[in-house]
Amino acid sequence: MKNIANKLTNEEYEKNFAELHPPLTKNSAVAEANRCLYCYDSPCMKACPTHIDISTFIKKIATDNLLGSAKTIFYSNWVPLTCAKACPVEELCEGACVYVEKGEKPIEIGRLQGFVIENYFNSDLPRLFTQKDKNGKSVGIIGSGPAGLACGAELSLLGYNVKIYESNKVPGGLNTWGIAPYKLRQADSLKEVDFIKSLGVEISTGVRVGKTISIEEIYNIHDAVFIGIGLGDATKLRIPGEELTGVVNALDFIEEVKNEKWSDVNVGKRVAVIGAGNTSIDAVTEAKRLGAEQVYIIYRRGIDDMSAYDFEYEIAKSDEVIFLFETMPKRIIGEKFVEGIECVKVELGERNEKGKREINVVPNSEFILPVDMVIKAVGQNINNNFLNDVEGIKIEKGKVVVDSETYQTGNNKIFAGGDCINGGQEVVNAAYDGKMAAHGIDNFLLEKS
């Protein structure tokens, strides 16, 4: 990079990456739990993609039954600490809280869930569930992200031998590598991974399917296979200059930050992030918090079109991110290093039936934004190298096609869930897929035997 941002002091880094929602004390958790109305058939539970019985786990906090509360949560969701901290709760459970309709502050469900699970992880982990006797069958899981972990945990309790194949040296997928550290620290994700391992799930790291081991081999070893590989390569911008030093993929950048060795991560003095999704916000705020002086979001559509949640937009604004809406990158300028990005203004037409607006370039509106680093965050594509070789698996619009109830792919021994089937949603959606797929697998193998 041509102009690397000055490094900060350790105190500054720690302050910048301190948790947005620090853990509740017991007193404050109990007070908040007592505020919960204990709704019947509660809207929050329905809004949670994993349908955690939220009012029940909250009432258990109030009655000082924290173990029972943890059990209620794990019963529906195997990665509840990650969800507690990384879920867009404003859009899900807390957004559905009846207090919102009452015109009052919703119950802090995310923080209460985090309190319960952290309390459990800090205990000597008494057994919450009885494991069925081993049934002699085994399931191979590809990917140790939330979908794979949830599938593995559920199957292990059902009596299966479970082995997860993970290409990274450190397991957890995006829970470990893809969430802004001020929301979730890596150590929290790894506590969850360790807990799932304690249920008997084996995780083999540094194993890349298609390279270290073939998909055929996994297919042959196991009675069923679950694919929870998420998404892979970042979508290309397809503009000149994309190969310059200083152009990075958002997820690679976020992953580097997740090592939590803040001063090892170089960011430019001026950074432009292309795209306005939630990943873009993570990337831009992290760049700012690492010491970048000027940070931009460049987005070709308008404020109403961006997929970033409102609260993410608020975080970005409070980090002094400059949003360039209706602006399209044309080329990245520089000899070897990024020196700037040439953009052009666009005009948006009427929305079509899909809600998308036509983009019309404004003639002669080109301008050059001098930047030292460009972070690409315009989406990811499925990494389907090894899937292409598997008979029966269909990929449509970049998603693995599965049965919506059983999560079975076109190959009846192979199941899939998470980002690779939905094109990229929340951790909580993947956690639900993994759990439900485990039951799909169980039903399939029971019928077979």
Partner 1 sequence: MADLSINCGGIKSPNPFWLASAPPSNTAYQNCKAFEQGWGGTVWKTIGEPVMNVCNRYGGFDLNGVKLAGLNNIELISDRHIDTNFKEIAETKKLWPDRAVIVSLMVESKKETWQDIVKRTVDTGCDGIELNYGCPHGMSERGMGAAVGQVPEYCKMITEWVTEVSTIPVLVKLTPNVTDIIYPARAAKQANADGLSLINTINSIIGIDLDTLEIQPSVAGKGSHGGYAGPAVKPIALHLVSQVVRDPEVGLPISGIGGINNWKDALEFILLGATSVQVCTAVMHYGFRIVEDMIDGLSNWMDEKGFKTLDEVRGKSLQRIDDFGNFNLLHKTTARIDQDKCIHCNLCYVACEDGAHQCIDLIPVNGHNKTVVREEDCVGCDLCAIVCPVEGCITMERKDDSSETKTWNELVSQFKDEDKELTWENLAEFQKKHGIVIH
Q: Which residues here bind partner 1, judged by CB under 8 A?
A: 30-31, 33-35, 37-43, 46, 62, 98-99, 101-102
Of all residues in the chain, what percent are helix, strand and coil, respectively (each to 5)?
40, 20, 45
CA atoms within 13 A on the CB side of 126: 7
**Please, which residue, 38 or 367, has the CB nearer to partner 1?**
38
**Please, which residue, 34 or 198, has the CB nearer to partner 1?**
34
**Please, which residue, 39 or 128, has the CB nearer to partner 1?**
39
The CA distance from 413 to 223, in Å, is 7
Minimum CB separation of residue 212 from partner 1 in Å reads: 45
**Please, which residue, 99 or 337, has the CB nearer to partner 1?**
99
Minimum CB separation of residue 85 from partner 1 in Å reads: 25
User: What burial letters (b/e) apply to 270-299, b meaning 16+ CB within 10 Å?
Assistant: bbbbbbbbbbbbbbbbbbbbbbbebbbbbb
**Helical packing angle, 250-258 and 278-289, nearest 10°:** 50
**Please, which residue, 30 or 207, has the CB nearer to partner 1?**
30
Minimum CB separation of residue 439 from partner 1 in Å reads: 24
Minimum CB separation of residue 132 from partner 1 in Å reads: 33
CA atoms within 13 A on the CB side of 91: 15
Alpha-carbon separation of residue 396 from 32, 120, 145 (angstroms): 45, 41, 22
Minimum CB separation of residue 108 from partner 1 in Å reads: 15
| Nearest residue to 302 via CA among 238, 351, 372, 246 | 351
Residues 6 or more apart from 217 whose CB is under 8 A from it? Answer: none
**Please, which residue, 59 or 191, has the CB nearer to partner 1?**
59
Minimum CB separation of residue 52 from partner 1 in Å reads: 17
**Please, which residue, 30 or 67, has the CB nearer to partner 1?**
30
The CA distance from 449 to 445, in Å, is 6
3-class secondary structure, 296:
strand
Minimum CB separation of residue 125 from partner 1 in Å reads: 21
